[in-house]
């Protein structure tokens, strides 16, 4: 199995669209990671001026990068680079996330078969309430296959 640094370095994202700071725990059944929302995130510029809030689509992306992509890289344990394909989300948003908030994402596997991963993912403020929760699914495809 890949180590946490190997998983993070395998992610197919880079700044400003990398939303994984660290993975705290990962095993066959669950994954826990963190992301700290920076004060100068690009999406705050227009959402909402004077009262910035992390858009739900970005919260979904944070949850998917940690709870599906990192988790899937660990579970698939492929020597070839993987391309994530997000397939479904059903997320409830409960609390606004602001600049400077630290998030803890916990993903629990529902199933992983035929390269499709479905998880129940919870996003919480560090030492605080749940801000979003729901089910997400996606697939991991070998990048080399996609190029042909």
Per-residue pLDDT of the chain (148 residues; tens, 9 = 90+): 899 999 999 999 999 999 999 999 999 999 999 999 999 999 999 889 999 999 999 999 999 999 999 999 999 988 888 899 999 999 999 999 999 999 999 999 999 999 999 999 999 999 999 999 999 999 999 876 555 5
Predicted confidence at residue 133, as pLDDT, reads 98
From 20, 40, 44, 45, select the one nearest 105 (Cα to Cα). 20
3-state secondary structure of 111: strand
How far is 42 from 38, CA to CA, in rounded Å? 9
Please give the C-alpha separations between residue 23 and each of 8, 73, 95, in angstroms, as whole numbers. 8, 12, 23
Mean pLDDT across the chain: 94
pLDDT tens-digit readout, 31-69: 999 999 999 999 999 889 999 999 999 999 999 999 999
Residues in the chain, overall count: 148
Cα angle 6-119-93, degrees, rounded to a multiple of 5? 105
pTM: 0.94
pLDDT (0 to 100) of residue 145: 58
pLDDT of 4 reads 95
Map out the domains of the chain with their CATH numbers.
4-146 (3.10.129.10)
Please tell me which residue in 47, 108, 118, 133 is annotated as part of the active site: 47
Q: What is the pLDDT of residue 84?
A: 92
Has 47 been annotated as catalytic? yes
First to last CA, the chain: 27
């Amino acid at each position: 199995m890949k180590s946490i640094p190997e998983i993070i370095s395998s992610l197919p994202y880079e700044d400003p669209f990398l939303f994984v700071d660290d993975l705290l725990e990962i095993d066959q059944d669950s994954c826990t990671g963190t992301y700290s929302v920076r004060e100068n995130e690009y999406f705050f510029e227009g959402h909402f001026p004077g009262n910035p809030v992390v858009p739900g689509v970005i919260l979904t992306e944070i949850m998917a990068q940690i709870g599906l992509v990192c988790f899937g890289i660990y579970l698939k344990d492929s020597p070839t680079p993987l391309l994530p394909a997000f397939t479904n989300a059903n997320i409830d948003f409960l609390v606004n996330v602001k600049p400077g908030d630290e998030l803890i994402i916990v993903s629990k596997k529902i199933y992983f078969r035929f390269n499709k991963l479905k998880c129940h993912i919870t996003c919480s403020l560090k030492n605080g309430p749940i801000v979003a929760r729901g089910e997400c699914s996606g697939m991991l495809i070998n990048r080399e296959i996609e190029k042909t």
